[in-house]
Amino acid sequence: MIEVICNDRLGKKVRVKCNSEDTIGDLKKLIAAQTGTRYDKIVLKKWYTIFKDHVSLGDYGVSLRESL
């Protein structure tokens, strides 16, 4: 179980607990459930890397406590 911290750049941070084998699409659905935003409108990126929906968190190297 890992905890991912997501920032929407408007002052709201969301902490989501998920597994490292979950995909980015699954993470987007968990974030959407907490924020009320549609999951298909969420874009997850870290610096200039935009994460693709079908790749797992472990493949991207998201560690125990990561900020996206």
pLDDT in tens, 5-60: 888 777 788 898 988 888 999 999 999 998 888 989 999 888 888 989 899 888 87
Burial of residue 58 (number of CB atoms within 10 Å: 0-12, 13-18, 19+): middle
- For residue 1, the one-letter residue type is M
Q: What is the model's pLDDT at position 29?
A: 93
Answer with the residue of higher pLDDT: 21 or 63: 21
Q: What is the model's pLDDT at position 21?
A: 87
Q: What is the model's pLDDT at position 66?
A: 55
Residue 37, CA atoms < 13 Å, CB-side half-sphere: 14
Q: pTM (2 decimals)?
A: 0.81
